Structure formats: structure tokens, C-alpha cells
Amino acid sequence: MQKTDLISKKIEQSNRIRFSKSGAKDGPVLVLFAGIHGNEPAGLKAVDALSERLDSSSRAFNGTIYAVTGNKKALELGVRYLDTDLNRLWEIFNTTKERPFLNGVNVPAEYHESLEIKKLVDAIIEAHEESAKEFIFADLHTTSSQSCAFILLNDTLENREIARQFPVPQVLGIEENIHGTLLSYINNLGYKAIGFEAGAHNDEKSIERSEAFLWLLMNALGLYELKDSEISKFEERLHAHPGVPETYYEVRNHKYVEDPDFFEMISGFENFDTVKKGTPLAYEEGMLIKAPVSGRIFMPLYQKEGHDGFMIIREVPEFWLKLSAYLRSSFIHNYLKYLPGVSVINSQSYRVNRTLARFLVKEIFHLLGYRVTEKDENTLVCHKR
Ligand SMILES: [Zn+2]
């Protein structure tokens, strides 16, 4: 038996594989994650429905699909997580620094979950990297507020290319505000990865929309061919209501919540609702929090778990996206170091002193495809995605 066959066998035996199917070895490999948050069962139900329907289909399967179960213990209990958020800790695997949990006494349950998932991802890549056309990863989630379906992606051109196949709003550059996600980890390994948010946690429609997304994704990747009538049926399921344009958005403001027990969102906000600057949004330790900028409210927190209170997003003009796609492959990168206040950290990263570089710095680096994070009040770090 070949080494890759042995690895494949081991993968199939893993109890974290919810289902898998393989056809042509030289096709794409699609890896789905479902239930990374234990209170979000819709993705798992959609994966089960997909698996059942694929079993009874006689159409050609041009590649391989794996569905990976997320936070198993949290799913059993129906909670978002036990000790720490399984979708916020992945930075530990991207750094060469000592892993903070390894010597500690209080190792969170999620560390073991993440380690198992990481090993499984490694094994899947090893088993297919010689023969497969490409690897694509998708992470299925739902939200605590009422919502239409949408896609979350780290803003790389490769991610945009898959995401734009779907008729839903797309939110770019989430990695600047939310760190340590599984998608960022996968992107940093060099593979395409997008997140699909299907709607509210317990809305039956979230299951239907997740399943529609999966069929359309398989079709777009050439894994499984859909008929035109099926494509329109699934796209119909995904459409947002007319008040939410199916275009690109970027995050303008992020409200981080220290302790969700003391945070209360004012009721009635639906994801993507428009808000004006100054609109009362939430209470934190009794203090009223108003919208710091105008835009659309994004992922308002209607549960006592998690640290992202809400975000405010805005549409990104189409021309800006085209311009940025053009500039990312250009020579301009070589000249960034000459901008005032900009210094080189290494070939991929720059440090920006904001007291010297006030004008449009963030915008310029975004346009060129850099992830911009705030190191402190006066310093930005820009890293090439
Ligand atoms: Zn989630």
C-alpha cells in the first residue's frame, strides 16, 4: 500500500470526519468545517443532508470532499465553546513563538480540539498534494441575530475569486478585526478559504441556505455539475432581501466586548440594518453605546458568549476593488518604504508611524493587499496577505 493510501485510510477512520466522498483523484479537494461553534448546528445538518443526497446521486464526482466536525464537546452541550473560542485561537499555530498553552496548567478544552483539527488538515493535504488540482476550505457558521446569508473572507484575490460566485453580500478583511480564526490559519498556509454565514442559529432556513451554498460551491469548483435549473433554485434560496445589496463590504468599526455578561445589545437590530452615527446600539456596564460612524450594523451580539459586540460595515465601491486587483501585482510595493512614517520590518511587512503618516495610509496599504493592524495608538503594522 502506498503512503498516501495509508494516510487516506487514517483520515477516513477519524471520528472527526462527518462524511467524505472521493472520485477523480486529480480534481479539487474541498474541506468543509461545521460546528466550530457548538451552538451552531445548521452547518452540520446541511452537511448530513448533502451527504445523503450525494449517496443517491449517480452523477460523476470530480474530486474529493471532506466534512470536518468542529468543537465536539461544545456541540454535545449546545454551547458556543467550553473554555475559549475555537475560532479565535489559531494564531498559536502560525507563530514560531512558544505556544502559550503548552506549559500552562489550565489548558483550554479547545486547544485539544484545535490540535486534532490541525492534524487532520495536515493529513488531508499530505494525502492529496501530489495529485489534487487545488485545495479549497469553507467554514460554515450562523449568527445570534436575524440575518440573510453572507460570506466572510480575508481579502486576497484568490478568496475573492471563489466568493464572487455567490449571490450574497461579501464582507472583506474581517481578519483585521477578528484575530486567530481558522480561515486566517488556512489562508496563511497558502490555501483559499471562505466563511459562509447562513442566518440565525436556529432558523430552519439557515440549514437550507447552507446546503444551497454547498451545492453551488461544488458546482463552481467543478466537483459536481449542477443543471441550470438546479443552479437557479439554489441561488434563489441564497438571495438577501432587497434592502441588502449583494456587493462587497468592509469593516469600519469593531466593538470589542471585555465581558459579555455586562454587554447588552438593544433589541431589534437585524444584521445589515442601516444605522446613522449616534444611533443608540447597546449598553455596556450600564453605559449607553452609540454608533461611532454611519453604516450598516454587522453581527450584533445577541448571546452571552463571545467578545465581538457589533461591527459597522460599509459598501466598497466596485472601481476600488478593480483598482486594488490591478495594483496588487504591480511594482508599487517597492516604493512603499519611501512614504513618510513608513519603515520596513521585513520583505512582507511594514511599520507605519501614524504621527508622521496621517493621510490615507490605511487605504493605500489596503489597496495594495496588506492586512493592517493597530499595534498601539500611533503604530500600524501592515502585512502582505
Ligand atoms: Zn460561528
The structural domains of the chain, with segments of one domain joined by +, span 3-238, 253-315, 331-384
| pTM (2 d.p.) | 0.86
What do you get for the CA distance between the two ends of the chain, in Å? 39
Q: Give the model's pLDDT for residue 210.
A: 98
Q: Look-up: residue for cell 510595493?
A: 333
Walk along the chain (385 residues) and give the pLDDT tens digit of each residue: 677 888 888 888 788 999 999 999 999 999 999 999 999 999 999 999 999 999 999 999 999 999 999 999 999 999 999 999 999 999 888 765 556 666 666 789 999 999 999 999 999 999 999 999 999 999 999 999 999 999 999 888 888 889 989 999 999 888 888 889 999 999 889 899 999 999 999 999 999 999 999 999 999 999 999 999 999 999 999 987 788 988 899 999 999 999 999 999 999 999 999 999 999 999 999 899 999 999 999 999 998 888 999 999 999 887 777 777 777 777 777 777 777 788 888 878 888 887 776 667 777 787 787 888 877 878 888 888 7
Q: How far does residue 197's CA lie from ligand 1's centre (Å)?
A: 8
- Determine the Cα–Cα distance for residues 69 and 117; give it in Å rounded to an integer: 8
Exposed, middle or buried: residue 376 (CB in 10 Å: 0-12, 13-18, 19+)? exposed
**In the prediction, which pLDDT does 343 show?**
84
3 state SS of 237? helix
Q: Distance from the CA of 100 to the center of ligand 1, in angstroms?
A: 24
Distance (Å) from CA 327 to ligand 1 centroid: 33
144 alpha carbon – ligand 1 mean position (Å): 9
Fold adopted by 253-315: OB fold (Dihydrolipoamide Acetyltransferase, E2P) (2.40.50)
364 Cα to the center of ligand 1, angstroms: 31
CATH class entry, domain 3-238: alpha beta
Phi/psi of residue 241, nearest 5 degrees: -75, 160
Cα–Cα distance, 272 to 291 (Å, whole number): 14
